[in-house]
Amino acid sequence: MNWQRLAPLYDLQLVLERPALRAALELARPQPHDRVLDLGTGTGALLRELARYAPHPAEVVGVDSSQAMIAKARAAGLPPRFRVELGDARSLKFAADRFDLVFCAYVVNVVPTPDAIAILVEAERVLAPDGRLVVVAAVAPRPPLARAYRALWSGLARALPSLFGGFRLVDLEMLFARADLDVDGRHTVRIGYPSLCLRYRA
């Protein structure tokens, strides 16, 4: 995707992401002592939802590979304990066991399958013992809407490749299995983008 072009427009669709982001936070249950990492933070949508929780976690870091997205996230006015920085989710600079809670929202929908698996493996590496990984992915709704929903996204990818060409629906449970992650909790979201939230516990 062309994130430089998409960054100024990205927040226009956040109303469709928020139900799943809030479900992910419910599944994660952030604690005041948690050190939190948000992979593919984008414009900081999940961080802004997390900022509504009180008290805030001890440390919150958002990582994204797009300078334009990072600039938007920094302009959002995040709380003092929150920071965002450039980084590659496939190869994080952080040491093993560094974070108690890792989020990854909609990233696996916009990268090739091998990269999605690499990101999940890397997320598990930086999790502290008993840490939680919560992943959100757009998935096809149940029949009879599934075929029409897939056709819609395929059409958008063909019509607007610079904006939607990298987006695809995924089988999140398959990605977990290929990354050797066990599912510890789940939440299905049907409001906004049909999405699945899965939790893994280290």
* Domains defined for the chain, CATH in brackets: 3-201 (3.40.50.150)
Rounded-to-integer distance, Cα 101 and Cα 39, Å: 11
Q: Could you read off the pLDDT of 40-57 as tens digits, one per residue? A: 999 999 999 999 988 999
Q: Could you read off the pLDDT of 95-114 as tens digits, one per residue? A: 999 999 999 999 999 999 99
Outline where 8-135 has alpha helix (H).
Answer: 14-28, 45-50, 67-74, 113-125
> What mean pLDDT is reported for the chain?
88
Would you state the pLDDT for residue 165? Answer: 47
| Model pTM score | 0.88
Structure-token pair, residue 20: 């799943």
Q: Using DSSP bridges, classify how beta strands 99-105 and 82-86 pair: parallel, antiparallel or unpaired.
A: unpaired
